Amino acid sequence: MSYPLITIEDVIKNTRFYPDSRRETLIKKAYDLAEKAHQGQKRKSGEDYIQHPMHTALNLAKIGMGSKTISAGLLHDVPEDTQITIEEIEKEFGKEISALIDGVTKLGKIRLRGTKEEIFLENLRKMFLAMAADVRVVIIKLADRLHNMETLDALPPEKQQRIAVETMEVFAPLANRLGIGEFKVRLEDLAFKHLDPENFEYVTKLAKEQYEQRRKYVDKVVNELRRELAKEKIEVIKIFGRTKHLHSLFQKLKRHDMDINKIYDLTGIRIIVPEVVNCYETLGIVHKRFHPLVGRIKDYISLPKPNGYQSIHTTIFGPEGKFLEVQIRTKKMDDEAEFGIAAHWIYSEKKKRLRDYFFRSSTAQKVPEKEVNWIRQLREWQNELGKDNQEFIESLKIDFFKNHIFAFTPLGDIIDLPEESTPVDFAYKVHSEIGNRAMGAKVNGRIVPLDYKIHNGDVVEIATSKEHKNPSRDWLRFVRTSEAKSHIRKFMKKDGML
């Protein structure tokens, strides 16, 4: 696939922030410097080098990043590949933009080598720590990697493999953890193409055949639902058919003996409405018109996924008895599903534009604490683990890349945990003192051992001691989360037990 040449006007046209001349001037100024610095340089594909930072900037603009991040995207290769230094950029563009570029440059020095374990060792620690400093550094790196993957065919086969493995093992999971679905699916599909070309071709052909067959069917259901919702006076921002991405489809096929007929959500319908209450009203209307498939209704609005994803999913018996998945969400939820943590900049901009059209702070923009609590946590326990790379990596894989479950306190508060977590993990997630004083546990009203594996939806009650703290060295054998391990070790060290 060839990617078209773009102009700086294309980048500006795709920005999502409130238009104003100062921001456009900043982006154009960054472009002018990048174009001058990269003058005469070519990529392996033969195109002018400036097209790469331009596509990086366009990727950032499309997911809603601000003018400073877009400018840093335009300039991200200048200190590394040209005569212009980071000090000169700081003098011209300020400390915030130069810090972003410097962070991306440092991440660019990390190279994949050896086994998958070493991929995590060499990449994840530094990337997560970069996020703890300023998450925009990693978002720029993801935008950069996306265009590199789009033009990967121009590189020698061995480099294609190395970069594709790194993308599938590191960058796509990072995009997922940040909730940037738009980047995740594109990175996975592009990596899939190079890592498993035979199955990529097979799934591409299969998907094309199936989608062609189902397109008219989906359009028919879309029109029917549109009429029903209009009849009930539900405002619909958008309703459209959607298809499963190739890598995701392949993963599902593997779980279902490669039988396409066992996959219910190959094609589906997405309905976007203004408010949360409209989501539930819409669900009722969908179920009134088409029977739902029992056990296939998922409410990620009241119980969001760990990366913040919110939506209602239901599988219905459509016309002719065919299964069809319907997703219902608000515009804000849809933006967050596509753009993840980057959507913060879209919505914070909307809130502040009435009082201030311009960036006035010289410091990095802050993302709401609830959205980056897990990033901040990395810094704390990474410092505690010190140079123990292996344990840090294992903790990353459990805490951030493993499937997550939700459990409830007796008062109905939601606790997010990795799979196979225990009541001790749950206790420390609620509060360190509850963990330290835990004596026993009940799950769904039944007494269970402290090494019990919690299931999704369990209600967990922790019995605590008022007089004594009880952490046991044995707990380290079965707890799953780094948070629990960290607190247990702290207690052991304090008491001279470690």
pLDDT of residue 392: 55
Residue 216 lies in a domain: yes
pLDDT of residue 209: 82
Q: Averaged over 350-374, what is the pLDDT?
A: 44
Selecting among 80, 380, 433, 495, the annotated active-site residue is 80
The SS3 call for residue 436 is helix
More confident residue, 321 or 235: 235
Q: Averaged over 476-492, what is the pLDDT?
A: 88
Look up residue 122 and give its two tokens. 């060499």
**80/222 same-domain check:** no
Domains identified in the chain, total number: 3
pLDDT classification of 379: cutoffs 50, 70, 90? low
**191/202 same-domain check:** no
Q: Averaged over 6-34, what is the pLDDT?
A: 89
- Assess whether 80 carries a catalytic annotation: yes
pLDDT classification of 151: cutoffs 50, 70, 90? very high
pLDDT classification of 227: cutoffs 50, 70, 90? very high
Percent of the chain, pLDDT > 90?
46
We report the CATH number of the domain holding residue 75 as 1.10.3210.10
pLDDT of residue 396: 56
Q: Which stretches within 172-275 are classed as H helix?
A: 172-177, 181-195, 197-231, 246-255
Among 142, 162, 195, the domain boundary falls at: 195
Residue 265 lies in a domain: yes
**173/130 same-domain check:** yes
pLDDT of residue 353: 47
pLDDT of residue 124: 61
Q: Averaged over 64-76, what is the pLDDT?
A: 93
Selecting among 35, 47, 81, 224, the annotated active-site residue is 81
Domain span including residue 326: 198-339
Which of 11-15, 22-26, 362-366, 433-437 has the weakest average pLDDT? 362-366
Which of 17-21, 44-48, 98-102, 244-248 has the weakest average pLDDT? 17-21
At what angle are helices 51-62 and 21-37 packed, to 10 degrees?
150
Position 351 pLDDT exceeds 70: no
We report the CATH number of the domain holding residue 454 as 3.10.20.30
Do residues 469 and 382 make contact, with C-beta atoms less than 8 angstroms apart? no
Q: Averaged over 24-32, what is the pLDDT?
A: 95
- Assess whether 235 carries a catalytic annotation: no
Please, which residues have CB within 8 angstroms of residue 477's CB and are 6 or more apart in sequence? 451
Whole-angstrom CA distances from 49 to 42, 44, 148, 174, 456 are 5, 9, 12, 26, 49
Average pLDDT of the chain is 83
Among 339, 358, 377, the domain boundary falls at: 339
**231/267 same-domain check:** yes
pLDDT of residue 411: 83
* DSSP 8-state class, residue 272: E
pLDDT of residue 238: 94
Q: Which stretches within 232-267 are classed as H helix?
A: 246-255
pLDDT of residue 201: 95
Q: Averaged over 393-415, what is the pLDDT?
A: 69
Position 69 pLDDT exceeds 90: yes
**463/422 same-domain check:** yes
Residue showing tokens 């054998």: 477
Strand 238-243 relative to strand 267-273: parallel, antiparallel, unpaired?
Answer: antiparallel
pLDDT of residue 148: 94
Please, which residues have CB within 8 angstroms of residue 304's CB and are 6 or more apart in sequence? 310
Q: Averaged over 393-411, what is the pLDDT?
A: 67
**164/204 same-domain check:** no
**64/212 same-domain check:** no
**156/285 same-domain check:** no
Residue 346 lies in a domain: no
Which of 87-101, 369-383, 458-472 has the weakest average pLDDT? 369-383
**16/162 same-domain check:** yes
Q: Averaged over 95-104, what is the pLDDT?
A: 91
Q: What is the pTM of this model?
A: 0.71
pLDDT of residue 58: 96
**23/119 same-domain check:** yes
Percent of the chain, pLDDT > 70?
80
Q: Which stretches within 302-388 are classed as H helix?
A: 331-339, 343-352, 369-385
Spatial separation of the C-alpha atoms in residues 466 and 53, rounded to whole Å: 59
Residue 128 lies in a domain: yes
